[in-house]
Amino acid sequence: MQILRETQEALGWLSPETITAIAKGVGWPRAKVEGTAGFYSFFHTQPLGRYRVLWSDNVTDRMLGNRDLMQAMCRKLWLEPGRVSEDGLVSVDTTSCTGMCDQGPAVLVNYRAVTRMNPERVAQMADLIRAEVPVAEWPAEWFRIQDNVRRADILLNNAMKPGEALQARTPDPTAVLDEIKKSGLRGRGGAGFAAGLKWEACRDAPGDERYVVCNADEGEPGTFKDRVLLTRQADLVFEGMTVAAYAIGARKGYLYLRGEYRYLLEPLKSVLATRRDAGLLGADILGRRGFDFDIEVHLGAGAYVCGEESALIESLEGKRGVPRNRPPYPVTAGFLGKPTVVNNVETFAAAALIAAKGGDWYRGIGTAKSAGTKLLSVSGDVARPGIYEYPFGVTIADVLADAGAVETQAVQVSGPSGICVADNEFGRRIAFEDIPTAGAFMVFDRSRDMFEVARNFAQFFAHESCGFCTPCRVGTTILKNLMDKIGDGHGTQADISEIFQVSRVLQMAAHCGLGHTAPHPLLDTIEKFRPAYERRLKSLDFEPAFDLDGALAQARQMTGRDDLAAHLENAE
């Protein structure tokens, strides 16, 4: 992956001759290298111009007018979206969410983020491209990324010095693990699995080689909290990885950074170098004989599915990011087939605090079943988009009030794969026992068409399906096509029925979580915002023709979500 990325940055694209040379150099079959190059959105095996402009096409970017701005740029460059100019100079296209939802509309120019696009910047950018000015010489303020921290708590207010967690009151690996288990820390990537149990299973797995992997591939639309943590608290994250390594006996760690955050690569490497110089990474850390651990940053290349831990490991090994069959789980057979702990950026940051201050201290924050704090990436129709850190248990209404939201009709919590919360549910709480979340919090006021929101999410899942399994590859495309058909005014009651039927297939038969969760935004909005669909149908007969009892049972069995089953029941 890193060879492909660095080669493409140097040569502009991956030609057949280049792929052949790389395959020979790494000793892989050429087809395997080409398969990897063809899987990721940010690798291209055909010339796409010296300037590659990708407009973030998340729903929040659309709300800020990205489509009109992209069309204006294409007109100025005499170019059609998705095509390369005749002189081979430039191409303009769309990409999935770039993690800049608090300062959009955003673009990637040669995979470097530019935020806050407006008509003036579009005109200036087009002029610079036509004049063939190198991207490195473009206005520096265009590339400034704001953190927009609106509310900070124990993570974002952390003032510990590097190494403090490693020098704390946890004298041996067992004691560290006991504190993590005592704290009640659960994974912050969305699944919420107990971190202490995961670490313990990895430590107890057979074998003498173990790995720690930090999942910084936050590709869920509307999520950008890890970007801010890595900017403001990188030492805390790396310290948490080192704590985990000490607890399980690992000697090597990787931080898998999403490709959209290319601008963070050099700063993160600099932090790692400083930690090595301070004796916080490398051999005999802090003078503890045999405590050897180092970290490497691995940059992704634009694949949402790599947020799934086994797909991330496949990508880390240089392969296509296709989720593995499980079991075995990564804690017993992960990176290179060795026991591996994979946790989210936020999880490792919290682990460092626990190592320094103790499990009882951490357990006293939050709710009975959800310990600690949660970072929320708030975007959409709010006066103050940005990062908000709360103890678990905060209500949706409290977050909306803090962010300056008015006339809100819906909040999409945890991105498209999460749950759509209507205005009669704003008393619900962010907690594992109520609404768990990976961090996205997208707000839609009453001027927004919730059908178009769901349509954007359907398009996202169809684009990001890895294509491995037929139910997801075909099912997400069918859902997208059905939403497009309804949106274009050609839909009927039968299309609504088919959405339910295809959703059942995805929930029952898809290979991984992407397919299982792809129907969520459609099912949620059909139940809670039915008029947005009804007014587009040729026939307003809205009775879904499917087995309701079977659908309810399968929804509960396949997703574990009673709320989805209730949504289906209410829709009927």
pLDDT at position 545 is: 47
pLDDT at position 557 is: 64
Indicate the SS3 state at residue 532: helix
- CB-based burial label for 284 (10 Å; 0-12, 13-18, 19+): exposed
Q: What is the 3-state secondary structure (H, E, C) of 14-69?
A: CCHHHHHHHHHHHCCCHHHHHHHHHHCCCCCCCCCCCEEEEEECCHHHHHCCHHHH
Give me the residue spans of the domains in the chain: 2-143, 150-363, 373-445, 450-571
Would you give per-residue pLDDT tens digits along the chain (572 residues)? 999 999 999 999 999 999 999 999 999 999 999 999 999 999 999 999 999 999 999 999 999 999 999 999 999 999 999 999 999 999 999 999 999 999 999 999 999 999 999 999 999 999 999 999 999 999 999 999 999 999 999 999 999 999 999 987 667 899 999 999 999 999 998 788 999 999 999 999 999 999 999 999 999 999 999 999 999 999 999 999 999 999 999 999 999 999 999 999 999 999 999 999 999 999 999 998 999 999 999 999 999 999 999 999 999 999 999 999 989 999 999 999 999 999 999 999 999 999 999 999 999 999 999 999 999 999 999 999 999 999 999 999 999 999 999 999 999 999 999 999 999 999 999 999 999 999 999 999 999 999 999 999 999 999 999 999 999 999 999 999 999 999 999 999 999 999 999 999 999 999 999 999 999 999 999 999 999 999 999 854 445 445 556 655 665 565 565 655 555 555 44
Fold of 373-445: Ubiquitin-like (UB roll) (3.10.20)
Indicate the SS3 state at residue 366: strand
pLDDT at position 190 is: 77
Pairing of strands 51-56, 419-422: unpaired
First and final CA of the chain: distance in angstroms? 47
pLDDT at position 572 is: 46
Distance, in Å, from the CA atom of 284 to the CA atom of 281, rounded to the nearest integer, reads: 8
Is 450-571 a domain of CATH 1.20.1440.230? yes
Is 150-363 a domain of CATH 3.90.700.10? no
Distance, in Å, from the CA atom of 304 to the CA atom of 289, rounded to the nearest integer, reads: 40
pLDDT at position 168 is: 74
pLDDT tens figures, 351-370: 999 999 999 999 999 999 99
The DSSP call for residue 338 is S
Fold of 2-143: Glutaredoxin (3.40.30)
pLDDT tens figures, 379-425: 999 999 999 999 999 999 999 999 999 999 999 999 999 999 999 99
Ramachandran quadrant class, 113 (left: phi over 0; alpha: psi -120 to 50; beta: rest): beta
Task: Write the CB contacts of 509 (distance below 8 Å, at least 6 apart in sequence).
Answer: 469, 471, 515
- Taking the CA of residue 241 as centre, how many other CA atoms within 13 Å lie in the half-sphere pointing to its CB? 35
